[in-house]
Structure 1
Amino acid sequence: MPESQTISWLPDGTPYSTRFDDRYHGEQGLAQAQDVFLRGCGLPAAWAGAPQWRILETGFGFGLNFLAAWSAWRADPARPRLLHFVSLEAWPVSSDDLLRAAARHPELQELARELHAQYWGLLPGVHRLCFDGGRVLLTLCVGQAQALLRQQLWEVDSVFLDGFSPERNPDLWSLETLKAMARHCRRGTRLATWTVARGVRDALTQCGFVVQKVAGLPPKRDNLQARFDPRWQPRSRRRPPEFTQPARCLVLGAGLAGATAAASLARRGWQVTVLDAGATPAAGASGLPAGLFAPHLSPDDNLFARVSRAGVRAMLQQAGALLQAGVDWSPAGVLERRPPAQLGLPADWSSGPGLDWSRPADAESLAAAGLPENASACWHARAGWVRPARFIARLLEQPGIAWRPNSAVARLVRSSTGLWQAFGSASAPLAEAELVVLAAGPACNDLLAPLQGPQLPLQPVRGQMSWGLQPAPAEGLPPFAVNGGGALMAHVPCEGGLAWHMGATFERDVQRLPMTTEEQAAAHAHNWQRLQALVPGAAPTLRPAFEGGQDLRAWAGVRCTAHDRMPIVGPVAPATLPGLWVSTAMGARGLTRAMLCAELLAARLMGEPLPVEAKLAQAMGCERL
């Protein structure tokens, strides 16, 4: 686990790093951010009229350069539609110190409070923080700069070369680190820094930058500015993006995968048409009355666990912006029952940012769930329940999205002009666009087969949820969701009252709907058995429903998963079927994964910084299949 930066505060209020024996920027902090970094990179003029702008910073510190860039973006009528700010930090400061440092700059207080609200759980790796309706994206990368720069594949327009002085932290300014940084620059990328150390100037020149000294911000005599313009042709491992400008898109499927993909593309200026056979959004597997989102636990913090955390963060951001807490969703946390002595937490989890995510359940939360003090369970603070149909409806209301119900797509055709056309039963196309995103679960392969495209390794999984209106009083029903071999969600608003939900079953390779009366009864019996093991205290209250059929209801749907349990996101076959992308295979974790997959799809499509580490993106990509 990374340690927080150890900060002491000098008498004049300036923060000081005891780790590096160096002070952070004092009274000149905001002035330096604006003069040295923003104006040093020609901003805001350089980004005028661009669809997006990407800034790379080598030391996040207290986030002052990010706040200054965000403030300048807000104030600029010619600002790009999307501002990406990618920042590296090996030793994150605490959230309290972050807010204290920003207090020196009253003009940044509003933005600093918004940053503070998302500044939590910063484990090693990549964290995507989202502001201004998703148009300002901070990609905060926690770890050693050189390693992070080598692992990722960004292309940036500006570089803020910042950090503690070369004498105090030489690794950050070494030739090896600057070479790794230069890999992310395009010809013409501008760089700015406050140091004019000869070793830094020589290293930048060796890396292909044209370097010049400029007048510094008093009392400093000089600063450094540079432009990436190597004498050689740089080699890049980055694939050119399929689209550099927004266009039209057809999304096939109005469930979680389709609605989130539509919203992410619409925020970037795409004109999106969503086609679905249903008469309402969420007519398929995403239409369950209530669903759970929560991180996954693994003692080795594997890819599955890391993807789940990134997905939960993305879900929290989007649901918080669109939904009404306590009505459409509840981020009140989730208690997860675990096998005895197998909490699933990594060995070094006992202190540090991981506790912002998950921790051993305390006596209070166990008692609230009616469980004994010695019960094996974890508490997920960043988790909860959502009414998916409400979430999907709000996503589809976003500007730039046209929702077309009763529009079953039977086949796709790529015209001689390069446009994709979606056909139903009639001879005329339902719609056409430059891009198609398949988000139709198991039906994706039905659409790919006539195109002679690759068949995705999709497995249908049928499931039934048992639910009903809560009796009063609802004794034994916990105030938060409980999962682990099924999930119980209670106190969910429904029909003017409250409802409970338990399930769901998991039948692989079964997709027959509707379920027969016998199948429904067997699924209810399975859920009842799971409920008694999961939350025994709820059994007396819900026994009349399960055993007497009092207002016992069922919802069933067919989910879709891949052989390795990871989502499938990316281009289907870029060489032979350009403009055909997919987002599917989210299994029973659609609420945890869908928003992340949508942002990953949009980022890959348009050459943006990815919302996760490159390794995680590869684990979700079509190319792995």
Structure 2
Amino acid sequence: MPKGAQVTMRVVLDTEFSEERFAAARAQGGRLHYIAAATALPVADTLVDASLRAAWPLNVPGFHRVILDDAVTLDLLVGALDAVLPQLSARVDAFHLHTAVTPPLARTLARLAVQGATLHARAPDEALVWALTAAGFACRLGSAAGSVLAEDFAPDIIAVYRSRKPQVAPPEPVRRAVIIGAGVAGSSAAHRLCARGWQVTLIERHAQPAQEASGNLAGIFMPLLSKDDNIPTRLSRAAYLFALREWRRMGGAGKVFMGDDCGVLQLARDAKHAKIQQDVLAQWAYPQEYARWADAQEASALIGAATPHGGWLFAQGGWARPSSLCEAMLAACGERLQRLFCNEAQELQRVGDEWQVHGPDGAILAAAPTVILASGASAGNIAQAAELPLSRLRGQVTHLPVDPAAPAAAVPATPAAEVLPATIAPAVSVPRASPAPRPPVLPLVVCREAYVTPPSGGIVCAGATYDNDDDPALRASSQLENLTRLAEIIPGEEVAALAHSAPLAGRVGFRCAAPDRLPLAGALPDYLNSGRIEFLPEVPRHAGLHCLLGYASRGLIWAPLMAELLVSQLEHTPPPLEAALVDALDPGRFLLKQRRREQ
């Protein structure tokens, strides 16, 4: 199949994962979206297919999207069937049923089925036939001979869904899009759209990608944990694990882009917090590769200093340079991507079925049926996004040279292909009678109220502040805040001395954050044409206008999954997340809350 060619996609739902059935469906060729439920995932080592084994997710609850290639996507829904299926949104062509069916479950299957969808179920059961028939399936006894289920279903029930209401298939999208902003949000969106065969124009006001909030030397990737497994926790788990899979599929951190999955140690604040951390791990019994407890002795050994408490160890976490990751993603887009850098989008106008993007002088920069705002807090400068409740939060990162006596020109060391923003101030050597204090050189990322990274290019990064002002300049007070917190995390005289001896060096960036600290991913709400609203589907939208915003401090892990979610919405394919999480990310949620308060 030629790269980017559009073919009909088959969507298959299996209520019990089987590698054999999946392989048989995959062997039929074409574009396949295979969805399988499982109360627990098989161990990766038991899988025969090497590509599947390499991409296999950890056995943690939730939806797991595994992209095996441009034609085959596997979604694994981990949890009880009656919990995960109601959260699924899909248009299913074929069902493989391996469980007893209650009337509510049968109605869920009917909701997911397209007109004429087929269903195979195990040996005849009167209650099963009754439930399926009541839900709209025409059932008969038969043989699955000739199907991928022949060895599993004999005899079996074969059913065909006949909808009582007309079904309207979603329109085929025109696969042309303009993305505004080339940070991790926009670059990830371009990467996923081009992989699906879209023609993408990427508009960026700087000469290089990732020059705003994505411009730090190092970003941290790690999940959130909580005792109640709340929405931010579930979302970060899905996003973190999807990002890891996608980065490995690209070639991996430290290979295709600068970074290292060296691990992240999140230290406990005190004894009470340490107890909470241990209770969370005991309650959820995560795989060791995902999260485990490191006691005080192990934690002290890892950081090279005595610490009274242990912490969560995320063995697959680490750091990455966002600008390097963005370049890798954009390079993978190939000829489907047009870069319009050194151009600033200031206005959008709807003309016919397309959006026109205008620059400062009114000239049309680009036009397409779909426009995606991915420019962080500056997206509010576009009239259609001005009402979104986004905050601009200042963050200052401190750069500490491993060798304080290194010439200023060598700090920081960066690849020739990367251009760092002017807000990065080089360290200045200061003559001293005694050796200058050195920053800790760690084998992994360590965090608590702040974070510190292993060195990269001779630089250790520590930070970052949260400030409610617009000052772009480096401040001594912000650096003191960073280094004071660093000394609390990594105790010792030399680290403590950095607060008053390290030259002012680092970078200032501005995060884009929503009031609930969750991203915005989806169709942009139309604030000017909204009346009474009670539910999210009733929120009016700007046709063809979407956003990927509000990533705050977690852009590295949010970006890949949010891009995948948005692409699934544009292509009318199954989303990679359960419905509750998709709703929690909907950009229309704030307008809905506002209208509810007004009623």
The normalised TM-score by structure 2 is 0.82
Question: Which one of 538, 544, 553 corresponds to residue 588 of structure 1?
Answer: 553
Structure 1 residues 440 and 348, CA, compared in 2 at 3 Å: closer, same or farther? closer
2:559 counterpart of 1:603: no
Aligned-partner residue type, residue 272 of structure 1: V
Deviation at 1:572, TM superposition (A): 0.9
Question: Which one of 439, 464, 478 corresponds to residue 442 of structure 2?
Answer: 478
**Equivalent residue of 2:525, what SS?**
coil
Deviations 1:390-440 (A, max 9, x none): 00111111232222210111111111x221111113443111001000011
Structure 1 residues 542 and 130, CA, compared in 2 at 3 Å: closer, same or farther? farther
Deviation at 1:614, TM superposition (A): 1.0
Aligned match of 2:510: 558
Structure 1 residues 522 and 218, CA, compared in 2 at 3 Å: closer, same or farther? closer
Contact 1:464 1:554 in 2 (8 A): yes
Aligned match of 1:490: 454
Instruction: Give me the whole-angstrom Cα distance separating, in 2, the residues matched to 1:250 and 1:219.
Output: 47
Structure 1 residues 554 and 143, CA, compared in 2 at 3 Å: closer, same or farther? same
Contact 1:59 1:88 in 2 (8 A): yes
Aligned-partner residue type, residue 406 of structure 1: C
2:201 counterpart of 1:270: no
Question: Which one of 87, 103, 109 corresponds to residue 36 of structure 2?
Answer: 87
Question: Which one of 12, 15, 36 corresponds to residue 55 of structure 1?
Answer: 12
Deviation at 1:372, TM superposition (A): 3.3
2:376 counterpart of 1:441: yes
Contact 1:454 1:572 in 2 (8 A): no
Contact 1:67 1:112 in 2 (8 A): no
Structure 1 residues 223 and 588, CA, compared in 2 at 3 Å: closer, same or farther? same
Aligned match of 1:314: 242
2:478 counterpart of 1:523: yes
Instruction: Give me the whole-angstrom Cα distance separating, in 1, the residues matched to 2:89 and 2:130.
Output: 25
Aligned-partner residue type, residue 333 of structure 1: G
Aligned match of 1:507: 467
Structure 1 residues 554 and 432, CA, compared in 2 at 3 Å: closer, same or farther? same
Contact 1:246 1:268 in 2 (8 A): no
Aligned match of 1:622: 587
Question: Which one of 561, 565, 569 corresponds to residue 521 of structure 2?
Answer: 569
Aligned-partner residue type, residue 455 of structure 2: H
Instruction: Give me the whole-angstrom Cα distance separating, in 2, the residues matched to 1:220 and 1:564.
Output: 48
**Structure 1 vs Structure 2: percent identity of aligned residues?**
29
Deviations 1:467-504 (A, max 9, x none): 14323997842200011111100132x2xxx3211111
Deviations 1:529-552 (A, max 9, x none): 111011225x626946x54445x5
Report 1:205-224 matches (<5 A): 205-212=133-140, 213-214=142-143, 216=145, 217=150, 222-224=155-157
Aligned match of 1:334: 264
Question: Which one of 115, 128, 146 corresponds to residue 65 of structure 2?
Answer: 128
Deviation at 1:211, TM superposition (A): 2.9
2:214 counterpart of 1:286: yes
Structure 1 residues 324 and 468, CA, compared in 2 at 3 Å: closer, same or farther? farther
Structure 1 residues 257 and 126, CA, compared in 2 at 3 Å: closer, same or farther? same
Deviations 1:50-75 (A, max 9, x none): 34332111112x533223323x15xx
The normalised TM-score by structure 1 is 0.78
Structure 1 residues 225 and 338, CA, compared in 2 at 3 Å: closer, same or farther? same
Instruction: Give me the whole-angstrom Cα distance separating, in 2, the residues matched to 1:542 and 1:401.
Output: 48
Provide the aligned C-alpha RMSD in A. 2.8
Contact 1:204 1:211 in 2 (8 A): yes
2:412 counterpart of 1:412: no
Aligned match of 2:57: 119
Aligned match of 1:423: 358
Aligned match of 2:25: 69
Deviations 1:158-211 (A, max 9, x none): 212235xxxxxxxx3334322221210011222234534444334333322233
Aligned match of 2:411: none
Structure 1 residues 386 and 606, CA, compared in 2 at 3 Å: closer, same or farther? same
2:415 counterpart of 1:459: no
**Equivalent residue of 1:285, what SS?**
coil
Instruction: Give me the whole-angstrom Cα distance separating, in 1, the residues matched to 2:439 and 2:377.
Output: 40
Deviation at 1:615, TM superposition (A): 0.8
Deviation at 1:569, TM superposition (A): 1.2
Instruction: Give me the whole-angstrom Cα distance separating, in 2, the residues matched to 1:577 and 1:467.
Output: 42
**Equivalent residue of 1:578, what SS?**
strand
2:136 counterpart of 1:181: no
Instruction: Give me the whole-angstrom Cα distance separating, in 2, the residues matched to 1:348 and 1:294.
Output: 16
Instruction: Give me the whole-angstrom Cα distance separating, in 2, the residues matched to 1:352 and 1:219.
Output: 33
Aligned match of 1:381: 315
Report 1:240-251 matches (<5 A): 244-251=172-179
Moved more, 428-437 or 351-360: 351-360
Unpaired runs of 5+ residues, structure 2, are 405-436, 527-539, 591-599
Contact 2:401 2:439 in 1 (8 A): no
Contact 2:44 2:53 in 1 (8 A): no
Structure 1 residues 253 and 94, CA, compared in 2 at 3 Å: closer, same or farther? same
Moved more, 262-271 or 369-378: 369-378
Aligned-partner residue type, residue 444 of structure 2: F
Structure 1 residues 218 and 147, CA, compared in 2 at 3 Å: closer, same or farther? closer
Instruction: Give me the whole-angstrom Cα distance separating, in 2, the residues matched to 1:324 and 1:220.
Output: 41
2:474 counterpart of 1:540: no
